[in-house]
Chain A
Amino acid sequence: MSTQQTLTTDRLPYARPIARITWLLVTCLTLGLFFAGIPGRYEQLVAAADKRALMGLGLSVSVYAVGVIILNFIFVLAHHLMAVVIFGRRRDDWMALFVCFALVTNGAMIPLSLMYPPGSLTGLGQFLLNGVILIALVSGVVLVYLFPDGRFVPPWTRLLAITWAVLMAAAVFWPTSPFSLSSWPVWLQLLALLLWPGIGLFAQIYRYIHVSRPIQRQQVKWALPGLIGAMLGPLAYFLPFVILPALSGPVIPNILYQRVGASFFTVSFLLRLSGLTLFTFVLLLFPLTLAIAIMRYHLWDIDILINRALVYGALTGALGLVYFTSVVMLQSFLIGEGSQLAIIVSTLAIAALFNPLRRQIQTLIDRRFYRRKYDAAQVLAAFSATLRDDAYADLDRLTEQLQHVVEETMQPEHVSLWLRPPGRGKS
């Protein structure tokens, strides 16, 4: 089913094309800034890396830096892919378009704010970056007031959304002004950053109980964890230390390091790294749960496209992981000339794995998200094979096999089969 369109554009015939063009420009801008910022981010990570902890873990600084950048890339890619898919199919729907903006900008906000710390850009560059960050901060929270049909429910949340937008604009463009969240005491910032999303959460519960239709309830059920993930964006942007431990700070002097113990700081480093990874995955819930809402409950009716995107996205990720792991492992065994061999072997392995892995992922996704279609096909196939092969078998065996197939594919609480006794019902 598609969402209701609550905004009419009859009076503004150019509004929709302008919004679409703006989205395309914002997408190009975020991607451009992201790719342009990679070398700087690499240097930044190398300089700030805890060499001693990495040494203790047997990792090189470059592997660590590349790993963090790959994590950022996955994050940006997932958001952008989902946005492109929705935009491709539902760009006429204002709510879908709003989600596209939220996805693209929220996907880029945290990586870009790390890549471009204050003062690293000037003039137009800084203005454009601020624009992207503003859209992310506003859309991440307002989305919770609007999802899934684009109406403010309850209606007074519209006022909250406007206030939030003003606060965010002040914080991003005039950070020292009294209206700017950044100039408030930390406790007040924290309160605001929890209050607005918290009311959004309340709005979703209110909507769920009083307004939503059954299918919308199912959509919201799936999308809500992702919306909460999106709401964490502003918290991570304004108060990173609440969520992420020490993103920057002085290098711990070796005398302190050795006194406390290398293992202590290695554990601390691991915690920081896993915290960063976990946080990235929490924020990834936004595009992922939207994808599930789309696929399982036909949000915006674009599930087939999402199916393909998910299959090939997962396939790319899995093959990338296999390639990276095999190259690293083989290179550690094969020294010197072996490094070329490791790359050749890994590439061949990827080529060999492509089709079987694609089939496996397709089956897995069909099984998880297209249960009805998958089960029907499986049940019919298995049962027809049984009928064909055991055409003359006894009824008990056929009954047992039917029950087994139904249990395997549908996973019901229990299965019972009613058979009409022979002779009954005959006239």
Chain B
Amino acid sequence: MNRVFKWISFILGGLVGLVALSLGVVYSITEAQLNKSYDVTVNPIPIPTDSAAIERGKHLATTVGFCTDCHGENLAGQVFDEGLLVGRLSVPNLTRGQGGVGDILTDTDWVRTIRHGLRADGRTLIDMPSNYYYYLSDADLAAIIAYLKTLPPVDNNLPPTSMGPLARLFMLQDPSLLPAQVIDHTGPRPAAPEIAITAEYGQYLANACRVCHGDNLAGEPGAGAGQNLTPAGNLAHWTETDFIQTLRTGVTPEDRKLDPELMPWDQVGRLSDDELRAIWLYLQSLPAVNSE
């Protein structure tokens, strides 16, 4: 019996040692990733102060920018705490209030943050979807920054983000969680389409839709993931009016209610008719992909 216990102790001790070693390796690699400094030359863009630009910035930030989703309705930040094993994600307070970054970031820092996913010191941000915002035109990015700079100050001191072992494992598995890793910081800037009811402009607006609906917008597997938006999906039976009506009311032509927690129709529905038409045109132009 003693021998059995001795063997069990050896095996358990070995397993614990192995797990500790693996955790140590994962920690070292991810710390190196988090602390890596990116030497990126940020091209400064002039930030407008006129009300039209600020209004445009607000419009983008609260619709297809999805900024309020993570930073909260007043953009004063919030904390998503998943416990010690997973970690705690503190999404920053963007206002000029106590604990906010509004008074700290310069115009260049704002550009670096949103477009390149980098902090002022050149280290990567965690889970900021900059790889989707990278495509924003200079004018639209400047408008968003202009809007963020006018936010009323809200005092909200947030605890620092902490990464548990599980979050670090996922960081290794999915490089896009550290956006600076997946952005081509020196590549040519994508051309900005003209604001018009065109598929090109629709594509520009629908960029962030890819987060849930997949890179080809053909839907993603997994709980809460987006549906197939290509002509092979359910939208094949819809008209442009159905599409706009669905995003305005949250009810599909099949009388199915969209859950705003899963599909933020209430945000996307704030786009103008022309913008929604442009997105519809773009979706119609996609190749049919059968995702079943």
Q: Which residues of A contact B (CB under 8 A)?
A: 51-56, 241, 244-246, 249-268, 271-272, 275
Contact = CB atoms under 8 A, between A and B. Distances in A.
B166 A259 contact: no
Nearest to B2: A413
- Identify whether the interface residues of A are mostly helix, strand, loop, or mixed: helix
Interface size on B, as a range, is 35 or more
A53 B223 contact: yes
A256 B80 contact: yes
B177 interface: yes
Contacts of B261: 51, 251, 254
A275 B80 contact: no
Given A55-B223, A253-B69, A271-B166, A259 B176 contact: yes
Contact of A264 (B72, B129, B170): B170
Interface string B250-292: 0000000001011110000000000000000000000000000
Given A56-B223, A253-B69, A254-B224, A264 B166 contact: yes
B79 interface: yes
A249 B79 contact: yes
B82 A246 contact: yes
B218 to A, nearest CB: 14
B40 interface: no
A355 B171 CA distance: 54
B223 A262 contact: yes
B134 to A, nearest CB: 15
B208 A255 contact: yes
14 contacts: A52-B262, A253-B66, A253-B264, A255-B264, A256-B80, A258-B222, A258-B224, A259-B129, A260-B174, A260-B177, A262-B223, A267-B166, A272-B82, A272-B83
Contact of B81 (A52, A249, A259): A249
B83 A51 contact: no
B212 A245 contact: no
Contacts of A246: 81-83
B104 interface: no
Given A258-B211, A271-B83, 14 more contacts: A51-B224, A51-B259, A245-B82, A245-B85, A249-B81, A251-B261, A253-B70, A256-B70, A256-B80, A264-B86, A264-B170, A267-B166, A268-B83, A275-B83
Contacts of A255: 66, 69-70, 129, 208, 211-212, 264
Interface in B70-95: 70, 72, 78-86, 89
Contacts of B42: none
A418 B243 CA distance: 93
B16 interface: no
Given A255-B69, A259-B129, A260-B170, A268 B224 contact: no
A250 B70 CA distance: 10
Contact of B226 (A54, A258, A268): A258
Nearest to A258: B212
Given A245-B83, A249-B81, A268-B166, A259 B211 contact: yes
A254 B212 CA distance: 8
Interface of B: 66, 69-70, 72, 78-86, 89, 127, 129, 166-167, 170, 174, 176-177, 208, 211-212, 220, 222-226, 259, 261-264
B182 to A, nearest CB: 12
B261 to A, nearest CB: 6
A256 B262 contact: no
Contacts of A55: 223-224
B220 A258 contact: yes
B86 A271 contact: yes
A61 to B, nearest CB: 12
Contacts of B167: 264
Contacts of A52: 223-224, 262
A245 B263 CA distance: 27
Contact of B170 (A253, A261, A275): A261
Contacts of B212: 254-255, 258
A244 B84 CA distance: 9
Contacts of B223: 51-56, 262, 266
Instruction: Among B70, B82, B89, find the residue whose CB has the most chain A CB atoms closer than 10 A.
Output: B82
Contacts of B225: 258, 262
Contact of B224 (A244, A257, A271): A257
Contacts of A275: 83
Nearest to B224: A52
Nearest to A262: B222
Nearest to B262: A254
Nearest to A242: B84
B123 to A, nearest CB: 19
A262 B223 CA distance: 6
A120 B222 CA distance: 37
A55 to B, nearest CB: 4
